Amino acid sequence: MTSKQQSSPHQFPDGSDAFPHRHLLGIAGLQPWEILFLLQEAGQWVDLNRKSSKHASRLEGLTVINAFFENSTRTLLSFEIAGKRMGADVVNMHAAHSSVKKGETLIDTAVTLNAMRADAIVIRHASSGAVSLIADKVDCPVLNAGDGSHEHPTQALLDALTIQRRKGDISGLTVTICGDIMHSRVARSNIYCLTTLGARVRVCAPPALLPAALDQMNVETFTDFNAALDGTDVVMMLRLQNERMSGDFIPSPREYHHLYGLTRDRLALAGEDALVMHPGPMNRGVEISSDVADDADRSAITEQVEMGVAVRMACLDVLTRRSRKVEGWS
Amino acid sequence: MTSKQQSSPHQFPDGSDAFPHRHLLGIAGLQPWEILFLLQEAGQWVDLNRKSSKHASRLEGLTVINAFFENSTRTLLSFEIAGKRMGADVVNMHAAHSSVKKGETLIDTAVTLNAMRADAIVIRHASSGAVSLIADKVDCPVLNAGDGSHEHPTQALLDALTIQRRKGDISGLTVTICGDIMHSRVARSNIYCLTTLGARVRVCAPPALLPAALDQMNVETFTDFNAALDGTDVVMMLRLQNERMSGDFIPSPREYHHLYGLTRDRLALAGEDALVMHPGPMNRGVEISSDVADDADRSAITEQVEMGVAVRMACLDVLTRRSRKVEGWS
Amino acid sequence: MTSKQQSSPHQFPDGSDAFPHRHLLGIAGLQPWEILFLLQEAGQWVDLNRKSSKHASRLEGLTVINAFFENSTRTLLSFEIAGKRMGADVVNMHAAHSSVKKGETLIDTAVTLNAMRADAIVIRHASSGAVSLIADKVDCPVLNAGDGSHEHPTQALLDALTIQRRKGDISGLTVTICGDIMHSRVARSNIYCLTTLGARVRVCAPPALLPAALDQMNVETFTDFNAALDGTDVVMMLRLQNERMSGDFIPSPREYHHLYGLTRDRLALAGEDALVMHPGPMNRGVEISSDVADDADRSAITEQVEMGVAVRMACLDVLTRRSRKVEGWS
């Protein structure tokens, strides 16, 4: 398995010769060159995926377990396709069928997956911190596919890759993230990722959905969406979860759309050629209007999905290099 | 990937050199030679599947997504096995876990699957026309695995292959289809397929389950099953859906069996050696009696299942030839 | 496919040259040398699974269907990983989506899976005897992954392999199985397996959970756990099913723990270095206390999971040798 082609050009200014992290639990704590390294690695998989035959053999003979304790069709599909395209044996563990329902502790589940000699475990869980808890108990790399309102690092990486390919260097760009900032792991991971890469990040939300902890993050906060849009290069809309739509946080979807929905008129307030993004699935007519979502020039929403598979292929590849004994990664 | 062995003998009297359709959305509109071409292609996979090692590499490196918005164990298994035996990376998207539940539009789901660079998408959906809607939005071939009461083309093809192997030339045969004709996509696709291939088709149902639109189809209609059976070469029984069993359409399963169940006595009214077929799963004792279903000489029900895998292998192969740049299919 | 390396050293004192059984429906009826042969075969897969690249090609081109009519995350994962590591095309049939729900008979389901040309079918079912019923109707090997309160043979094999690796020869060891003996297929398979291999087996349960039929089995019965532990080499705890916890069988989980829970104090009554086992998932604080479960020296619970994958790889390999025409297995 040791092979020269599998190692990557050195990119690490601190003198280390390889991505130093065992797991991908979040974006917080990653250095800018580490993020850029993962984005560069993902680039090659974008190219492969556009070919008719899109199969790599790097992970051949490895077992990747997708342990989804919280349902997510898109993210699971994306990771499953990524693992299979890399040649791995991929198995999905669905929460709905899981022994967690029989009262098994999360740690016991982790130890079980580990004992089956998984080479990478991808985990989605409704509780913040659950993924980190599992990572402490296993011998293989763990990839966080979203945990509670904590982090969703591959989402931030795919968003960064999308911006990079459309806008070039992320450093110096102004990015506005609008929606339920308080509960969003997508927002949190993106804030870490984009500020680390040197972007100016604005967050915008109704007052009830704007967390207090933002003081420590290097962002500007807005409650007026029109003001937040002024001159921005990228507008990143968040999905409004159904459970927030009626009741404590939002008066109604219609009201929300009126104040925080991205419409064509409102988009005109942003910078010329501002990019429109959304992690999906969209609530059309709530946080985003259909004409904006479907604008082939401005919307990068479909491209985000495509970048997602490539980013996950890269992460699976990079994190398993040590166990695969790729040259320079021992 | 371009290879001579992968192309097929020319069979197209109109001078075209390859199966001209991008998708398989239904049987309606297919020419007889196009249907016969697919049946001939399926033949080789029947042979392969009977071997101990039953794996082809034609679809290696391709991603096939089975997007089942309506549950169906048998059809999903059949397509999954077909895709894997052809060497593809196969992923299943289960409706029950899907973001459709989160309110995502069907079109957005289609665009998402497409952005993940699927090479073929197999779709089952409870609404007639949903599959065609998706096909319009994606770059890859779409195979209809059953949409509402519209079409179920691979079922008709596997039925035709079964008849062909048991009875020889389909042209000139008399085929009686009995059951809930009104709501059955299996009946509809079979009527198109069999009449196109030159069979005489009779349909038989209780008056409340016989659609008016049959006038435009080239079939004879019956409400008396005994009369419909007279001299027929093939008897194709439809599954009586549970939701029709009590209430508006059928007085009771027992009554239905009395009037429309295929029993040994009734089968004697059909032609000598008449073939018995059923798409499964059967309601034994309702639309078919067990002694008829299990009659090794007359019943082709098990063979239908076997032909199903082969037909789906053929369809996946044929429809991806353009993207695989098989010689003669550009 | 015929190859010399794939055949195994002869081990069968009765002069036969290969494992003589078509299916693995239970441990009852297996000869000691047959069990030892399967354990020896599993050993090589333990070694493979500990490598970074853990893929064999023996089952390449074969289709393995996991038909789970009863949910079980762990056992399904273990069989799925085993099949994929052996190179097979593995498909899972989930009961929750199955046509069994549409009223199809079990036999019809079996015939359908068979017609799809499965090369091995792994079945889990809530009814004792259901797996055997299916085995009678199909052409390929059937592996019982647990049927009702009848047998769970691969669990007994993985338990035996774990004991063998920790304790050496099983013959002469004293093994105490404690818990709901009456309803436990794990207990039943282990009793057959361990007594066949020459161990002294003690079973211990509350009187209401001790079956009468044990008279015919070669075991000692206890209702006092402390007495049962005296001098035992291996303590095998069974999972207390939730449905037994309140009501007819057990006064309460707390009461059960008091009388039949394996605690550190109680473990001291067993032989020095007695091994602690549990098939999982555990109810910590009910049948076993956490300090015992997590004792790295005494507890083999994690190792059992690991052995499970290896044992299932061995069973899939051995049972398909005839159809793969491995030399000496015709």
Residues A80, A164 share a domain: no
Residue C286 has phi, psi (to 5 degrees) of -105, -85
Of B94, B116, B325, the CB nearest to A305: B116
B278: amino acid identity, one letter: H
Residues C115, C96 share a domain: yes
Query: Using 50, 70 and 90 to split pLDDT, how confident is the model at A320?
Result: very high
Q: Is residue B61 part of a domain?
A: yes
Query: Using 50, 70 and 90 to split pLDDT, how confident is the model at A128?
Result: very high
Hey, which residues 271-290 in chain A have their CB within 8 Å of chain B?
A: 280-284
Residues C264, C179 share a domain: yes
Strand partners, C288: C262, C284
The number of domains in chain A is 2
Q: Is residue B108 part of a domain?
A: yes
pLDDT tens digits, one per residue of A251-282: 888 999 999 999 999 999 999 999 999 999 99
User: In this predicted structure, what is the pLDDT of residue C242?
Assistant: 75
Residue B140 near chain A (CB below 8 Å): no
Arithmetic mean of pLDDT over chain A: 91
* Averaged pLDDT in 10-residue chunks for chain C of 330 residues: 41 71 97 96 97 94 95 93 98 71 78 97 94 96 96 98 98 97 96 98 95 85 98 96 74 92 97 96 95 96 98 98 90
Residues C222, C313 share a domain: no
Percent of chain B's residues with pLDDT above 70: 91
Residues C132, C31 share a domain: yes
User: What HEC string does chain C produce?
Assistant: CCCCCCCCCCCCCCCCCCCCCCCECCCCCCCHHHHHHHHHHHHHHHHHHCCCCCCCCCCCCCEEEEEECCCCHHHHHHHHHHHHHCCCEEEEEEHHHCHHHHCCCHHHHHHHHHHCCCCEEEEEECCCCHHHHHHCCCCCCEEEEEECCCECHHHHHHHHHHHHHHHCCCCCCEEEEECCCCCCHHHHHHHHHHHHCCCEEEEECCHHHCCHHHHHCCEEEECCHHHHHCCCCEEEECCCCHHHHCCCCCCCHHHHHHHHCECHHHHCCCCCCCEEECCCCCCECCCECHHHHCCCCCECHHHHHHHHHHHHHHHHHHHCCCCCCCCCCC
Q: Is residue A326 part of a domain?
A: no
Question: A171-210: b or e for each residue (b if 16 or more CB lie within 10 Å)?
Answer: eebbbbbbbbbbbbbbbbbbbbbbbbbebbbbbbbbeebb
Instruction: Please name the residue that has the structure tokens 């972007």.
Output: A199
How many angstroms away from the CA of A187 is the closest CA of chain C? 33
How many angstroms away from the CA of A270 is the closest CA of chain B? 25
Hey, which residues 46-105 in chain B have their CB within 8 Å of chain C?
A: 49-50, 52-55, 71-74, 76-78, 80-81, 84-85, 94, 96
Tokens of B113: 């699957």
Q: Is residue B170 part of a domain?
A: yes
Tokens of B267: 């089968």
Q: Residue range B290-299: average pLDDT?
A: 96
Starting at the earlier edge strand, list the strands of the sheet with B142-147.
B89-94, B63-68, B120-125, B142-147
| Binding annotation of C for carbamoyl phosphate | 74-75, 124, 152, 155, 280-281
pLDDT tens digits, one per residue of A85-105: 999 999 999 765 555 555 678
Residues C161, C285 share a domain: yes
The CATH number given to whatever domain includes residue B289 is 3.40.50.1370
Q: Is residue C241 part of a domain?
A: yes
B281 is in an annotated binding site: yes
Query: Using 50, 70 and 90 to split pLDDT, how confident is the model at B102?
Result: low
Residue A258 has phi, psi (to 5 degrees) of -60, -40
Q: Is the per-residue pLDDT at A1 higher than 50?
A: no
Coil vs helix vs strand at B258 = helix
Residue A115 near chain C (CB below 8 Å): yes
Q: Is residue C1 part of a domain?
A: no
User: In this predicted structure, what is the pLDDT of residue B1?
Assistant: 36
Residues C315, C220 share a domain: no
Q: In this predicted model, which residue has the larger pLDDT, A224 or A247? A: A224
Q: Is B65 in Cβ contact with A80 (below 8 Å)? A: no
Residues with Cβ within 8 Å of residue B212, at least 6 apart in sequence: none
Q: Is residue A211 part of a domain?
A: yes
User: In this predicted structure, what is the pLDDT of residue A215?
Assistant: 75
Residues C24, C109 share a domain: yes
Residue C252 near chain B (CB below 8 Å): no
Residues A110, A179 share a domain: no
User: In this predicted structure, what is the pLDDT of residue C252?
Assistant: 87
User: In this predicted structure, what is the pLDDT of residue B267?
Assistant: 98
pLDDT tens digits, one per residue of C192-241: 999 999 999 999 999 999 988 777 889 999 999 999 999 999 999 999 98
Q: Is A61 in Cβ contact with C54 (below 8 Å)? A: yes
User: In this predicted structure, what is the pLDDT of residue B146?
Assistant: 97
Whether complex ipTM tops 0.90: yes
pLDDT tens digits, one per residue of B215-238: 788 999 999 999 999 999 999 999
B324 is in an annotated binding site: no
How many angstroms away from the CA of A217 is the closest CA of chain B? 31
Q: Residue range B46-67: average pLDDT?
A: 96
Query: Using 50, 70 and 90 to split pLDDT, how confident is the model at A302?
Result: very high
C78: chain A residues, CB-CB within 8 Å: 116
User: In this predicted structure, what is the pLDDT of residue A9?
Assistant: 47
Q: Residue range B13-19: average pLDDT?
A: 70
Coil vs helix vs strand at A280 = coil
Residues A212, A140 share a domain: no
User: In this predicted structure, what is the pLDDT of residue C98?
Assistant: 56
Q: Is residue A325 part of a domain?
A: no
Residue A330 near chain C (CB below 8 Å): no
Domain span at residue A49?
19-152+307-320
Residues A158, A188 share a domain: yes
B152 is in an annotated binding site: yes
Task: Give yes or no for a contact between B29 and B306, defined as CB atoms under 8 angstroms apart.
Answer: no
User: In this predicted structure, what is the pLDDT of residue C14?
Assistant: 62
A312 is in an annotated binding site: no
How many angstroms away from the CA of B270 is the closest CA of chain C? 25
Of B94, B104, B117, the CB nearest to A49: B117
Q: Residue range B135-141: average pLDDT?
A: 97
Residues C213, C134 share a domain: no
